[in-house]
Amino acid sequence: MEIVYCGHSCFLLKTEAGTRIVTDPYTGVGYEMAPVAADYVTCSHFHFDHGYTEGVRGAREVIAGAGEFVRGDVKIEGFAAFHDDVGGKKRGADTVYVFEADGLRVCHMGDIGEPCTPALAEKLGKIDVLLVPVGGTYTVDAKGALEYIGAIAPQVAVPMHYRSRGCTLDIDPVDVFVREAEKTREVVFAHGSSLQGVGPYRGKIVVLERVNHG
């Protein structure tokens, strides 16, 4: 499976059989989402920066909420979580998705805001690639993200939902997360926007470039 970072919390997952899934398409963050086509879209919730499904060409279905789905060669599991640390009272619900294909399990945490619990980590099971928000304010911050990385123990972790060039949201830049992460882990800045499975990054945190720098 190829994992392409489209900016913010949006990724394009491409399987060997050709299935294309886009996670959390966005608008209104200060820069535009790159043009993208997919068979399916998953949304962790429907705030403007996670539910811009109109920006995805060709999608035959939008998947939202907890449950188990099989689409093409991909098994998708959605797990209920919260967008804040007060049981959803402030920002509502969040869905965490696990995608399984090509012998790889990829977890997208959406806009998770609740602190890490052993119960959630156990539900998710073995994860190869963890896509985790790090910017704080609306989600967990750097320390909260590292707690999830520690509990879930993925082979590779990829930060998302941070302030990059052009972003106008009140969230931390990725450097804040990197400084905290480097105290205990190896962080690599990839020269590109995609991962081919785990590749050479096993045991590392990988910061991907976003596919559109416009």
∠ at Cα 119 (46, 86), nearest 5°?
50
Instruction: Give the pLDDT of residue 91.
Output: 84
> What are the pLDDT digits (tens) for 23-58?
999 999 999 999 999 999 999 998 888 999 999 999
Domain presence at residue 126: yes
Domain presence at residue 214: no
Domain presence at residue 155: yes
Name beta bridge partners: 163.
173
Domain presence at residue 15: yes
Domain presence at residue 212: no
Q: Which two tokens stand for residue 71?
A: 């689409």
Domain count, the chain: 1
Domain presence at residue 94: yes
> What are the pLDDT digits (tens) for 162-179?
999 999 999 999 999 999
Task: Please determine, for residue 205, whether its predicted confidence score (pLDDT) is greater than 60.
Answer: yes
Task: Please determine, for residue 84, whether its predicted confidence score (pLDDT) is greater than 90.
Answer: no
Domain presence at residue 213: no
Task: Please determine, for residue 94, whether its predicted confidence score (pLDDT) is greater than 90.
Answer: yes
> What are the pLDDT digits (tens) for 106-159?
999 999 999 998 899 999 999 999 999 999 999 999 999 999 999 999 999 999
- Dihedral of CA atoms 148, 150, 154, 155 in degrees, nearest 10, equals 140
pTM across the whole model: 0.96
Full residue range of the structural domain in which residue 118 is found: 2-207
Query: Which amino acid is residue 91, in one-letter code?
Result: R
Q: How far apart are CA 10 and CA 5, in angstroms?
A: 6
* 3 phi, psi to nearest 5 deg: -120, 115
At 214, the pLDDT band (50, 70, 90 cuts) reads very low
Domain presence at residue 81: yes
Distances (CA, A) of 36 to 118, 162, 214: 35, 21, 14
CATH label of the domain that carries residue 43: 3.60.15.10
